[in-house]
Amino acid sequence: MTMQSLDYRVVTQALEWLEEGRTVWLCTVLSTFGSSPREPGSLMVANDENRAHCQQLLEAMRSGELEIVRQIRLTDGVSWLEKAQTKGPRVVINEREETVCIRVGALSKLILAGYSSVAEACAGFAISLGYQVVICDPREEVTANAQLPEGAVLEAVLPSLYISAEGACTASTAVVATTHDPKIDDLAMMAAVKTPAAYIGVMGSMKTSRARAERLSRTGGLSQDEINRIHMPIGLHLGSKTPAEIALAIMADIVRVRRGRDLNEL
């Protein structure tokens, strides 16, 4: 189909929408790069249903699906959302069908179970990486002088209660415990493994982690599969010592899992 015939369809559609009293946007391609299905000067028209599409897109990102796909038909601007089935490139242009497929990631969230100097550093890194950050800690004596980065939210509630609340954890959520307080850390892990959280981790040495695994099995009633979901010790083995270095190792491991990379690929 020639550019002229496609543009004829676009303008015809625009006039039909205008006659219905709808708002339309007539768009013109000014330049292209690489392999492009439409050359400069090509037309596209969109109507006010874009607002509904944007609302659907926002709701889908908030839902926590790991990835969703925007499908856009270039001939008339019609667009719709689909759940991503497999991994793939961010943008795919189908010249034959004249469609564009755009992958959109869900809003990532980090839940920090309890406040600590490491949690504070994690929050800073996570905010810079675009995560929604929530720190849960009911201990007023601990959080009174907390220095949180702008954008982080402090919830004065037991982490396990927040984590187990409906909708708190999705497939794009990471749950991290760094307090060294078993009453907080263990309960948070017990709650987190019952959710679809993509990453669950708790700080501690190898010896502490073995003791925690035994405790979670014996008193927490967790299965071996549930325990295997927990990254403990947490983070990449960078030889970290300071709170900032430990937080860096934690966030790097979270990003690794989010991007689907195995440790042996690093």
Domain boundary among 105, 127, 155: 105
Packed helices 117-128 and 243-258: angle between N→C axes, nearest 10 degrees = 50
Q: By residue range, what is the domain housing residue 205?
A: 109-265
Question: Do 134 and 101 fall within a single domain?
Answer: no
Question: Do 56 and 122 fall within a single domain?
Answer: no
Question: Do 209 and 226 fall within a single domain?
Answer: yes
Q: Which residues contact 214 (CB under 8 A, 6 or more apart)?
A: none
Residue 263 pLDDT grade (very low, low, confident, very high; cuts 50, 70, 90): confident
Give the predicted TM-score (pTM) of the model.
0.72
Judged by DSSP in three states, 51 sits in helix
Tokens 């900032």 belong to residue: 244
Domain boundary among 88, 105, 122: 105
Q: What is the DSSP string of 114-156?
A: S--HHHHHHHHHHHHTT-EEEEE---HHHHTT--PPTT-EEE-
Question: Domain count of the chain?
Answer: 2
Question: Do 76 and 202 fall within a single domain?
Answer: no
> What's the CA gap between 179 and 113, in Å, rounded?
8
Residues 86-141 have pLDDT tens digits of: 666 677 888 787 888 877 766 789 999 999 999 999 999 999 998 999 999 999 99
Question: Do 119 and 101 fall within a single domain?
Answer: no
Radius of gyration in angstroms for the set of CA atoms belonging to the chain, rounded to a whole number: 24
The HSE-up count of residue 257 (CA atoms within 13 Å, CB side) is 22
Domain boundary among 105, 120, 148: 105
Residue 155 pLDDT grade (very low, low, confident, very high; cuts 50, 70, 90): very high
Judged by DSSP in three states, 37 sits in coil
Phi-psi group of 41: left, alpha or beta (phi > 0 → left; psi -120 to 50 → alpha; rest → beta): left
Question: Do 141 and 215 fall within a single domain?
Answer: yes
Q: Which residues contact 237 (CB under 8 A, 6 or more apart)?
A: 249
Length of the chain: 266
Question: Do 118 and 134 fall within a single domain?
Answer: yes
- Residue 4: its pLDDT value, please? 52
pLDDT at 161 exceeding the cut of 60: yes
Strands of the sheet containing 67-73, edge to edge, are 79-83, 67-73, 99-105, 91-94
Question: Do 92 and 117 fall within a single domain?
Answer: no
Question: Do 258 and 192 fall within a single domain?
Answer: yes
Q: Give the residue ranges of DSSP H helices in 29-96.
A: 50-63
- Residue 176: its pLDDT value, please? 97
Question: Do 247 and 188 fall within a single domain?
Answer: yes
Beta strands 132-136 and 67-73, pairing class: unpaired
Q: Do residues 246 and 240 make contact, with C-beta atoms less than 8 angstroms apart?
A: yes
Question: Do 180 and 146 fall within a single domain?
Answer: yes
